Amino acid sequence: MARRRGLRRLAVLVLALALVAGGVYGAVFFLQRSETLVSERCTAVVGDVSGELAPDQAANAALITAVAVRRGLPPRAATIALATAMQESKLRNIGHGDHAGPDSRGLFQQRPSQGWGTEEQVMDPYYAANAFYDALLAIPDYESLDITEAAQRVQRSAHPLAYAQHESMGRSFASGLTGQAPGAVQCTLRSGNGSGDAAAMAASLKEAYGGLPSAIDGDAVLVETSGSQAWSVAQWAVANARALDVVRVEVAGRSWDRAARNGWQDASDPDAGVRIVMAPAVD
């Protein structure tokens, strides 16, 4: 009888352990599955104007806008540039042309044969954005023109009215990424598997904005700036979060947390300037 009770207890213990193990496996499977179900996207909402981009598109939009900020251009210039690049390349740095421009390349599908630069140059997003703004600034009244007209004067497209369809996206992302609309830009992303590189982040920041004072503090980059420029840098960092493995951004008493996926929230201990926290090194 005692032997039988012992076997029964052992069977109950084995069953309990199996249930615990199954629960752990199920929880891990659920978490892994939930990560794959996350729809990665970046949005910009400014009043009743909004836009949505894939993370790689948002990163290019952030660079184009940062160039405008660096040059001291108004948000209107960035709006026109973003609408143009969306129409020309879907905000992707493509290395091929089409029937209308067989040699066109890059974010703005600029043609080396029409004096935009070498193929290597127009495939450099920073060069391409500056080249676009140079041409836009040559139009004296560009700020007062409709977006589609301003874009057409620069691009000389075979489809001159096509740029207008991207106006809402251009306006919302330009407002957020120039820092004129704090907290407008946010991205919903999966957790990621890589580790961030603070030095690479600092180098990307320098390319986009020039010589902003910054310092590396462990896994974070601290940027000394304030006002709309601080919000521009912070939302640029969010737009680059997937590409550069950013997990948290803090600015002006607000924070964006990649894991929380709840947009911009009040920060418990706000720092001056912008703090960009990278994913820790993977052992």
- Up-side HSE of residue 117: CA atoms within 13 Å toward CB? 21
pLDDT at 281: 75
Task: Give the integer Cα–Cα distance in Å for 46 and 175.
Answer: 7
Residue 62 in this model has a pLDDT that exceeds 70: yes
Tell whether the model's pLDDT for residue 58 goes beyond 80. yes
> What percent of the chain clears pLDDT 70, i.e. is strictly above it?
84
pLDDT per residue as tens digits for the range 195-238: 899 999 999 999 999 989 999 999 999 999 999 999 999 999 99
Local confidence band at 4 (pLDDT 50, 70, 90 cut-offs) = low
Beta-strand pair 246-251/274-278: antiparallel
Is residue 235 within 8 Å of 61, Cβ to Cβ? no
Q: How would you class 97 by CB atoms within 10 Å of its CB: exposed for 0-12, middle for 13-18, buried for 19 or more? A: middle
Pair 170, 50: CB distance under 8 Å: no
Average pLDDT over residues 73-80: 98
Using DSSP bridges, classify how beta strands 214-217 and 254-257 pair: parallel, antiparallel or unpaired: unpaired
In sequence order, the 6+-apart residues with CB closer than 8 A to the CB of 253 are: 266, 267, 270
Q: Copy the structure tokens of residue 78.
A: 């960035």
DSSP character for 210? -
- Listed by start position, the domains of the chain span 43-177, 192-278
Three-class SS of residue 276? Answer: strand
Span 257-281, average pLDDT: 89
Query: Confidence band (pLDDT; 50, 70, 90) for 159?
Result: confident
Torsion angle of alpha carbons 33, 235, 95, 138, nearest 10°?
Answer: 160
Strand boundaries in the chain, DSSP class E: 41-46, 49-53, 185-188, 214-217, 220-223, 246-251, 254-257, 264-266, 274-278
Residues contacting residue 206 through CB under 8 Å, at least 6 positions apart: 212, 214
Q: What is the pLDDT of residues 13-43, one digit of tens each?
A: 545 554 544 554 454 444 444 556 679 999 9
CA distances from 163 to 17, 105, 185, 244, 280 (A): 62, 18, 22, 30, 41
- Residue 160 clears pLDDT 80, i.e. is over it: no
Are 271 and 250 in contact by the 8 Å Cβ rule? The answer is yes
Least confident of 6-15, 91-100, 171-180: 6-15
More confident residue, 57 or 103: 57
CB 275 within 8 A of CB 250: yes
Region of residue 84 (left: phi > 0; alpha: psi -120 to 50; beta: else): alpha
pLDDT in tens, 86-127: 999 999 999 887 766 788 999 999 999 999 999 999 999 999
Q: What's the pTM value of the predicted model, to 2 decimals?
A: 0.85
Phi then psi for 269, rounded to 5 degrees? -135, 75
Q: Which SS3 state, helix, strand or coil, does residue 78 take?
A: helix
Q: Does 270 score more than 80 pLDDT?
A: no
Share of the chain above pLDDT 90, in %: 75
